[in-house]
Amino acid sequence: MTLYRPPRSPLAALFLREIRVGRRIGGGSMLGVIFFLVLVTLTPFAIGPDLALLSRIAPAILWLSGLLATLLGLDRLFQADYEDGSLDLMLTSRTPLELVILTKCAAHWVLTGLPLVAAAPLFGLMLAMPAQDLWRIALSLLVGTPALTLIGAIGAALTVSLRRGGLLLAVLILPLSVPVLIFGVAAAAATESGLLPFATPMMILCALTLLALVGAPVAAAAALRQAGS
């Protein structure tokens, strides 16, 4: 038997595994963006053919849809590993649990958040947004969706041992995502004329994401350690 060292660091191996599991059959990583499309498509039917109204509320619709689409797969973020016993192994790993959580969130965001960001300009067009404003919605989602995933990770960790924790997860974290939603929509709805500023809400959105990046893994790790006992 030959001795060998694993080729990858634990976190790189975890990231690769998460991406593989998400992309293969049953992973459901494309569900989020399809759900996003469905919500955006339904809105004009509900509101009617008023293009001026539609283009005015488009940033809000896109952000709300993005928020709900992000939420979609989050309840399984730790639950799948909890049920099949992988979480126990992550707890006995030499890698700090906080970094494990951060890596899982990064992989989850790449699978669900990033497609939303890529699809947002296209869906903005469907809601009659002016073409020159589309970059703002994409940029605000790019900066804001990681915060949504990270805040969601806290809820996912808290509800990890509940069989039907999905709804509780939504109730727990939607209030916490209100600041992200407010400043995300504010940044996306800014106008060229400067009547509604872009830089201020954008910088606050960046700050919220950085805050979630630091705080959420610690909070989620504490919740997961409790879940085992």
Partner 1 sequence: MLRIEASDIAVERGGRRVLSGLSFALDAGECLLVTGPNGAGKSTLLRAMAGLLPLRSGTLSHTPDSDAPLAEQAHFVGHADALKGSLTVAENLTFLAAMLRTGEAGCSVEGSLAALGLARLADLPASYLSAGQKRRVALARLLVARRPLWLLDEPSTALDRAAQGMLGKIMAAHRADGGLIVAATHASLGIDGRELKLGASS
Instruction: Determine contact, residues 70/116, Cβ cutoff 8 Å.
Output: yes
Q: Which is nearer to partner 1, 38 or 89 (CB)?
A: 89
Whole-number minimum distance, CB 77 to partner 1, in Å? 14
Whole-number minimum distance, CB 99 to partner 1, in Å? 12
Hey, CA dihedral for 112, 117, 123, 124, is it positive or negative?
A: positive
Q: Which is nearer to partner 1, 23 or 53 (CB)?
A: 23
Q: Which is nearer to partner 1, 4 or 45 (CB)?
A: 4
Whole-number minimum distance, CB 78 to partner 1, in Å? 14
Q: Which is nearer to partner 1, 14 or 153 (CB)?
A: 14
Query: Residue length, the chain?
Result: 229
Residue 85 region by backbone torsions, left for phi larger than 0, else alpha for psi between -120 and 50, else beta:
left
Whole-number minimum distance, CB 156 to partner 1, in Å? 18
Hey, CA dihedral for 103, 11, 111, 221, is it positive or negative?
A: negative
Lookup: tokens for 123? 């869906």
Q: Which is nearer to partner 1, 15 or 142 (CB)?
A: 15
List phi, psi (to 5°) of 214. Answer: -85, -45
User: Could you list the residues that contact partner 1 (CB under 8 A)?
Assistant: 1-10, 12-14, 16-17, 20-21, 24-27, 83-86, 88-95, 228-229
Whole-number minimum distance, CB 157 to partner 1, in Å? 15
